[in-house]
Amino acid sequence: MENKRFKVAGHIFEIQMLEGGILPLLPSLEPFITEEEAEPLFKITVDNSINPSWRGSRIGHFPCPSASFEVYRQDNNAYQILVLQDGKIPSAFIQSDSEYKNFTVATRGYRENVTFGLNNSIMVIYTICTAKHKTLLMHSSVVENNGKGYMFLGVSGQGKSTHSDMWVAHIPGSTLINDDNPVVRLADDGTPIVYGSPWSGKRPVYKNVCYPIGGFAAIEQEKENRIRKESVPVAFGILLSSSSTMKFDKEIHMNICGTVSSLLEKIPVHTLGCLPNGEAAEVSSSAFGV
């Protein structure tokens, strides 16, 4: 059995794999390997020999762009989660204990299905376990400039990645640090920090870095470039909809809502209506004081 420890946004977790090792399947985890001996927040055992037996009540279904998750809760509050690729192909089964400290993952299918199922299982488990630690896994593209991270939010296809590219091309000193799922965490003093993560969508940007957040902008495609600061209720909706959450679990959902509220006390949210050009980057960077 191979044991590896990883540290993402300050949270340590351990993965035990019975055969083959985790890194050949998910090399995106390599920059996050840690030798720290602190107690891990959670442990995952990957054991493809187990045969899942469904027990408990189906309490939720949540879709993502390329995956969906069927969630069941047992009488002792433990979770069972089925990971479906493209919403229909079973690729992984997750079993938790009642304290959400230990998880078993069994994958199914060919190598592509196994990699997909394992990657999404780790993301879901990470979200479950970090929610009470003022941590959000967010759907965003992020660039760094002059020691701060600028986060571009929005549904798939609105141009988050394109706008990050415009910053890199037209705003001197800008670097892409994650293109799909960075982690946001509130430091002990309340400072919002954005971290690179092992999850970056279609572009392999797996940087183990972190920066104070300089601004949020929700991207919308429009025929001209303009930006506006949103009211707190609208900003709350933007940040919450950009965060991985589980409304079927009241405690997790309330923790995530509390973290979003705390973020808004520190950083305003803007909406950027824009074209895919350098002027749009200049408009948003100017609004952020870059």
Residues of the chain with pLDDT > 70: what percent?
Answer: 99
CA distances from 25 to 189, 201, 239, 257, 281 (A): 37, 16, 31, 33, 36
Listed residue (201, 92, 98) closest to 152, CA to CA: 201
Are 256 and 203 spatial neighbours (Cβ–Cβ below 8 Å)?
no
What's the mean pLDDT in 122-132?
Answer: 96
Please give the DSSP secondary-structure letter assigned to residue 230: P
Q: Do 178 and 238 fall within a single domain?
A: yes
What integer pLDDT is reported at residue 256 of this predicted model?
97
Q: Do 169 and 118 fall within a single domain?
A: no
What's the mean pLDDT in 22-48?
Answer: 95
Q: Which of 93, 113, 133 is the last residue of a domain?
A: 133
What integer pLDDT is reported at residue 137 of this predicted model?
97
The parent domain of residue 261 ranges over 136-287
Q: Do 15 and 120 fall within a single domain?
A: yes
Per the structure block, which two tokens stand in for 261?
Answer: 């509220």
Q: Which of 95, 116, 133 is the last residue of a domain?
A: 133
Judged against a pLDDT cut of 80, whether residue 51 lies above it is answered with no
Number of domains forming the structure of the chain: 2
Q: Do 98 and 187 fall within a single domain?
A: no
Q: Do 186 and 111 fall within a single domain?
A: no
Per the structure block, which two tokens stand in for 214?
Answer: 């300089």
Residues of the chain with pLDDT > 90: what percent?
Answer: 76
Q: Which of 108, 133, 158 is the last residue of a domain?
A: 133
Angle value at C-alpha 66, between 245 and 218, nearest 5 degrees: 55
Torsion angles phi and psi, residue 84, rounded to 5: -115, 125
Q: How confident is the model at residue 253 (pLDDT cuts 50, 70, 90)?
A: very high
What integer pLDDT is reported at residue 54 of this predicted model?
66
Q: Do 169 and 192 fall within a single domain?
A: yes
Given the structure tokens 């069941």, which residue do they identify? Answer: 72
Grouping H, G, I as helix, E, B as strand and the rest as coil, residue 151 is: strand
Q: Do 156 and 127 fall within a single domain?
A: no
Q: Do 102 and 151 fall within a single domain?
A: no
Mean pLDDT of the residues in the chain: 93
What's the mean pLDDT in 57-83?
Answer: 83
What's the mean pLDDT in 185-189?
Answer: 96
Q: Do 118 and 159 fall within a single domain?
A: no
Are 101 and 128 spatial neighbours (Cβ–Cβ below 8 Å)?
no
Tell me how crowded residue 271 is: count the other CB atoms within 10 A of its CB.
Answer: 21
Per the structure block, which two tokens stand in for 110?
Answer: 């060919």
Q: Do 123 and 112 fall within a single domain?
A: yes
Write the single-letter amino acid at 17.
M
The CATH number of the domain holding residue 152 is: 3.90.228.20
Q: Do 143 and 127 fall within a single domain?
A: no
Q: Do 105 and 171 fall within a single domain?
A: no
Judged against a pLDDT cut of 80, whether residue 121 lies above it is answered with yes
What's the mean pLDDT in 150-165?
Answer: 92
Listed residue (151, 172, 181) closest to 163, CA to CA: 151
Are 215 and 255 spatial neighbours (Cβ–Cβ below 8 Å)?
no
